[in-house]
Amino acid sequence: MRTKIVAGNWKMNKTSAEAKALTSEVISLHGAEVKSPTKVILCVPFPFLQQSKEQTANTPVAVGAQNCSEHESGAYTGEVSAAMLKSLGIPYVILGHSERRQYFQESGAQLARKVDRALAHQLIPIFCCGEPLEIREQGTHEALVRKQVAEGLFHLAPEAISGIIIAYEPVWAIGTGKTATTQQAQDMHAVIRKELAGKYGNVVSEKIPILYGGSVKPDNARELFSCPDVDGGLVGGASLKARDFVDIIKGA
């Protein structure tokens, strides 16, 4: 039985004071209302990692970064390395988010290198995959997602990929108010798990959590998370409101 995971992706939002207040409110509501073993991760902007890490110490809430460089170190102004994140005690990092793929043209080969850097520093990647609307309408969405997973992860040994979290995000449902139906979400999660099983076998594929990310809200979380292959959510906009985020956690 895979443990449910709910990760909040704050993207480029909040000031330092706002981030501190939101983190405190999530911790407070979580402690008072959440009784399940669901893993909770706040993926905050780089400037807030240290303060969020300090705030969440000795709580069930963990902190993650939203990206890291494929380079170990060097003359890469503005980049943040996996070693830097490790030195702060940050256990998770989002890699391959659709916005990174779209706006920064991150390729499958580049993301494979990022995965390797993260794992080399004992970070747990939350590896994102998913299709834009035009690909969904063309009916080639399954092929694209299989390709993204293979390019980014299939160079790994079985023991390495067993420590990865995958997040499927239908790009057409991110920030649009649209949400994949429960069946659409389950179908794509099943495709990903089948692809993993084809490469690594059922024992490994059944260990890997696959999260759904696409306009997850309090009123659809329970139904989405009840699907057999949906192991929680990567939550965007709703993670910026403590009440909504904790209600989503409760839905898991």
Q: Which residues are catalytic?
A: 97, 169
- Say how far apart CA 151 and CA 86 lie, in whole Å: 25
196-203, Cβ contacts within 8 angstroms, sequence gap of 24 or more: 196/149, 196/161, 199/150, 199/154, 200/158, 200/161, 201/158
Q: Position of tokens 């063309």?
A: 138
Q: Which residue, among 184, 100, 185, 96, has the nearest Cα to 147 in the 3D structure?
A: 96
Which residues, at least 6 apart from 238, have a Cβ–Cβ distance to it below 8 Å? 8, 216, 217, 218, 244, 245, 248
Q: Which residue, among 6, 74, 25, 19, has the nearest Cα to 46 in the 3D structure?
A: 19
- Say how far apart CA 32 and CA 153 lie, in whole Å: 38
Q: Are 200 and 158 in contact, with CB atoms under 8 Å apart?
A: yes
DSSP E strands in 36-164: the ranges are: 39-43, 61-65, 92-95, 124-129
- Say how far apart CA 198 and CA 150 lie, in whole Å: 11
Q: Are 93 and 85 in contact, with CB atoms under 8 Å apart?
A: yes
Q: Rounded to the nearest 5°, which phi and psi values hold at 229? A: -110, 5
